[in-house]
Amino acid sequence: MCTAPAVTIASSDLRGFLDLLRRYRPRDLIEVSRQVNPKFETAAILTKFEQSFRFPVLLFRSVAGSEYSVVTNVCGSPGRLALALQCSVSDLPKVYAQRSAQPIKPTIESTTAVQERVFLSSHVDLGALPQLIYHMDDSPASYITGAIVVARDPENGKSNLSFHRLMIRDSNTTAIFMARGKHLHRIYQKYESQRQEMPIAAFIGVHPTCSLGALYTGSADVEEYDIIGGLRGSALPLARCVTNDLNIPAEAEFALEGFVPPRERVEEGPFGEFTGYSSGTMLVPTFKVEAITSRRDPLYQDILSGHAEHLLLPKLSMEYELLRIARDVAPTTESVRLTLPLTAFLSLRKMDDDEPRRVIDALLANDIYVKQVIVVDADVDISDLRQVSTAIALHVRPDRDVSIKPHVPLTELDPAGDPRDGLTSKLGIDATVKSCSSRRITKNQIPQHLLDSINLSEFVKAE
């Protein structure tokens, strides 16, 4: 069992983490010195690597139209997340769970790197940022994809962190997409109901522990800055914003400060999302940027939507939360994996034949991003889609083991959903072997000691 004692992470900012890569995983960092086009080319280069089953961090030193270097795919491999948390890849879920359960409150610093440069009012220019466009059917307006937004609940004073895509509209305004029913959307509804502006800040360019902590999916009463401290093993240094009373990581590369006005909507999108499909256009609130602060020579961190980093980053947090919910209902739940978009695979050492249905109901009710739940027995490797598919094929009787939940809230990012009513349906599949079966069903097995004793080189000629 992994003990995962509290440790102080050796590198605390994005630059320090890149230095760790140069030292311990040099093949994971590729620096591109030639100038690249922000329209499609950064995305194309990363896609080409992924098609060759390589998932490096790409550091683009020269992006046409901007003075800033762009770094993308920082959290795009389990090995890099393990390096960030200083553990093995196999221990990632355990370490994340243990450290998230030991939060450490942040500190407020007076001298901060993220405010070495300050641009206010008429000097704010979002057009100076790299104007990245990723897919052919995306909006012609560029997007900020690596921004973590901080806001404060006006009722309980708790701060919230979450990733949000920002579509640049002009020099000081973006559209901001907030998923319906998620924490930031609920906070905004409270401000909007009082016809008040919601102060926010969006920071860009942080250590992977900040990214992982910002994606924590627990109770709204939990402060993500405290979770980040737990993941780091030390308090996260924060800086007070220059135009409002929110706090941002002191060692971030960029910060955008401003507010979201009430009852103002603009058209946003299309944008290619994590599902691999465009989310289409929709009406969303705006973000009025009153200040941009940064380091003297900042790195602009980008996340390529729908690719390895975008799919991997939320997994640890969502799997941790879904496993907790599942074990509240079924304590013998072994593990949960989010291998496919909007789909949770769960392995269970079930106590009775009704237990899978109870787990399915709990998970489908929990999150708009869980559209399908498939439950298998504990001897099925849920990271192996072939084994899961086989369990479905052999153990499911559709009239008995498939359940559909109609008229439930959807995520606007689901291509199959109808945004007009905000509802969809969800699917649960119980692919476990039924204990009440009148037939004796056992899985084919070969003695393990015999398998262990076989050396294939004995039967294969050396080439």
Q: For position 199, which CATH number holds?
A: 2.30.110.10
Q: Which residue has the higher pLDDT, 282 or 197?
A: 197
User: Can you read off the two tokens belonging to residue 152?
Assistant: 């404060």
pLDDT tens figures, 215-231: 998 787 889 999 999 99
6 has pLDDT over 80: no
> Which one-letter amino acid corresponds to residue 414?
D
Q: What are phi and psi of 212, to 5 degrees?
A: -65, -40
Q: Does 307 reside within a domain?
A: no
Q: Does 404 reside within a domain?
A: yes
Q: Does 344 reside within a domain?
A: yes
CA atoms within 13 A on the CB side of 356: 29
**Percent of the chain with pLDDT strictly greater than 70:** 95
* Span 376-380, average pLDDT: 93
**How far is residue 94's CA from residue 376's CA, in Å, rounded to a whole number?**
21
Q: Does 451 reside within a domain?
A: no
- Of 200-204, 215-219, 258-262, 431-435, give the lowest mean pLDDT range: 215-219
Q: What is the pLDDT confidence band of residue 4, given thresholds at 50, 70 and 90?
A: very low
pLDDT of residue 340: 84
In 283-432, alpha helices (H): 308-312, 315-329, 355-366, 385-395, 398-401
Tell me: do 260 and 138 sit in the same domain: yes
The residue among 245, 266, 298 that closes a domain is 298
Q: Judging by DSSP bridges, how do beta strands 343-348 and 372-377 pair with one another?
A: parallel
Quote the strand ranges of 12-54, DSSP E. 29-36
pLDDT of residue 437: 63
Q: For position 407, which CATH number holds?
A: 3.40.1670.10
Q: Which residue has the higher pLDDT, 307 or 377?
A: 377
pLDDT of residue 339: 84
pLDDT tens figures, 129-172: 999 999 888 899 999 999 999 999 999 999 999 999 999 999 99
* Span 401-416, average pLDDT: 84
Residue 375 lies in domain:
315-430
Tell me: do 362 and 254 sit in the same domain: no
Overall domain count for the chain:
2
Identify the CA nearest to 325 among candidates 374, 365, 284: 365
CB-based contacts of 268, cutoff 8 Å, min separation 6: 139, 167, 175, 177, 281, 282, 283, 284
Tell me: do 277 and 349 sit in the same domain: no
**How far is residue 81's CA from residue 209's CA, in Å, rounded to a whole number?**
8
18 has pLDDT over 90: yes
- Of 21-35, 92-106, 287-301, 420-434, give the lowest mean pLDDT range: 420-434
pLDDT of residue 2: 38
Please answer whether residues 333 and 326 qualify as being in contact, where contact means their C-beta atoms are separated by less than 8 angstroms. Answer: yes
Tell me: do 293 and 324 sit in the same domain: no
Please answer whether residues 291 and 256 qualify as being in contact, where contact means their C-beta atoms are separated by less than 8 angstroms. Answer: yes
Tell me: do 281 and 322 sit in the same domain: no
Q: Does 156 reside within a domain?
A: yes
The residue among 298, 330, 346 that closes a domain is 298
Q: Which residue has the higher pLDDT, 129 or 110?
A: 129
pLDDT tens figures, 257-305: 999 999 999 999 988 887 777 778 889 999 999 999 999 999 999 998 8
Mean pLDDT of the residues in the chain: 90
> Which one-letter amino acid corresponds to residue 424?
T
Tell me: do 209 and 328 sit in the same domain: no
Tell me: do 292 and 149 sit in the same domain: yes
Q: Does 304 reside within a domain?
A: no
Q: What is the pLDDT confidence band of residue 462, given thresholds at 50, 70 and 90?
A: low
Tell me: do 337 and 372 sit in the same domain: yes
Tell me: do 261 and 396 sit in the same domain: no
Tell me: do 324 and 294 sit in the same domain: no
Tell me: do 336 and 293 sit in the same domain: no
Q: From the centroid of its chain, how far is CA 30?
A: 23
Q: Does 131 reside within a domain?
A: yes
Tell me: do 291 and 344 sit in the same domain: no
Q: Does 65 reside within a domain?
A: no
